[in-house]
């Protein structure tokens, strides 16, 4: 069994799951403090509904892909590549935004959530539903990001499933350790390390998404019988449609279908053949997103922001 596909899914699920666990933990701790623990079943209901809804979204996306693959071969090639590219861009945008947002707004996270939950439970009649909706939104937000990322990778087999389950279990364990047993975990180090890891994973997704969009353009050109692709430098040289020529070719010494390159491919988007456009997009994203992320870390400690432990 190839577990290389499970690792990036595990990392994404663990990080996004911990964010959701923090929200859930803060809500439950506040309910306990104000002697409203009777509303905890609504919290668990929001968690379960959010996870179930995310799962349903994943099923729908998988069904949609199957429908695309069952169309006429030329159309399937175009729409399939276009869909994968769009999903990839969506996952890149969502994960990057959440990475920077969480870092910049973590200081006020605890106070904002307690303020929201305080207002929500002020009305006795609607308190349960208000708590349910707050938790549902938190879980859905993180769950949807994970589903989009998994769909963008479009990797079959049991590996991604194992990675997602392991990440979810790990996030739940961290949440329980923080709020149930009072175990002190250095959240600053955790989120900073996972943030850098996530940046590299998403940067790898940039390479994949750009490649899919390039293939979609090539498929459209062939389908429409119009000439929009750049001509190949030679008949024997591997070429792209709009990404330019190869700037990296180590296929003979480090093929990305074999270990260890297949692990690097699954984790960080490594390619044994890399085109100019992909290289430019990769380093542009890494420089811009990395700048925003590390700037958001300046002078901040996650432990103090969340007032946990």
pLDDT for residue 277: 93
Confidence of residue 306 (pLDDT cuts 50, 70, 90): very low
Residue 11 reports pLDDT greater than 50: yes
> Stretch 144-157: mean pLDDT, rounded?
73
Place of tokens 């920077």: 100
Q: Please give the mean pLDDT across all residues of the chain.
A: 81
What average pLDDT score do residues 158-178 get?
82
Q: Residues 105-125: what's their mean pLDDT?
A: 74
> Chain centroid to CA 271: how far?
20
Which residues pair with residue 246 across a beta bridge?
Answer: 275
CA–CA separation, 8 and 199 (whole Å)? 11
Rg (CA), the chain: 22
**Would you say residue 156 has pLDDT above 80?**
no
Region 135-140: mean pLDDT is 88
Contact of 27 with 182, CB cutoff 8 Å: no
Tokens representing 175 are 């949440």
Quick one: average pLDDT of 204-220?
90
**% of the chain exceeding 90 in pLDDT:** 14
Please give the model's pTM, rounded to 2 decimal places: 0.76
Least confident of 15-29, 119-133, 142-156, 270-284: 142-156
């Amino acid at each position: 069994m190839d577990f290389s596909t499970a690792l990036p899914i595990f990392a994404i699920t663990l990080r996004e799951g911990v964010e959701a666990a923090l929200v859930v933990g803060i809500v439950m701790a506040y309910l306990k403090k104000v002697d409203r623990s009777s509303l905890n079943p609504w919290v668990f209901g929001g968690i379960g509904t959010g996870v179930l809804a995310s799962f349903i979204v994943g099923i729908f996306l998988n069904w949609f892909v199957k429908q695309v693959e069952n169309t006429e071969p030329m159309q399937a090639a175009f729409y399939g590549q276009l869909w994968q590219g769009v999903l990839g861009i969506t996952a890149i945008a969502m994960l990057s935004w959440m990475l920077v947002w969480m870092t910049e707004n973590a200081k006020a996270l605890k106070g904002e959530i307690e303020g929201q939950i305080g207002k929500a439970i002020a009305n006795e009649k609607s308190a349960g539903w208000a708590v349910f909706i707050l938790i549902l939104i938190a879980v859905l937000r993180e769950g949807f990001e994970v589903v989009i990322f998994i769909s963008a990778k479009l990797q079959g087999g049991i590996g991604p499933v194992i990675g997602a389950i392991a990440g979810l279990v790990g996030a739940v364990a961290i949440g329980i350790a923080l709020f149930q047993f009072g175990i002190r975990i250095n959240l600053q180090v955790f989120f900073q390390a996972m943030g850098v890891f996530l940046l590299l994973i998403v940067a790898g997704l940039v390479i994949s998404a750009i490649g899919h969009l390039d293939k979609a353009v090539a498929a459209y050109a062939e389908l429409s019988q119009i000439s929009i692709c750049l001509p190949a430098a030679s008949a024997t040289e591997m070429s792209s449609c709009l990404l330019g020529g190869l700037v990296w070719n180590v296929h003979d010494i480090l093929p990305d279908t074999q270990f260890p390159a297949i692990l690097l491919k699954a984790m960080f988007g490594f390619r044994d053949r890399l085109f100019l456009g992909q290289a430019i997009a990769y380093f542009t994203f890494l420089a811009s997103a990395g700048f925003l992320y590390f700037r958001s870390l300046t002078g901040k400690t996650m432990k103090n922001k969340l007032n946990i432990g």
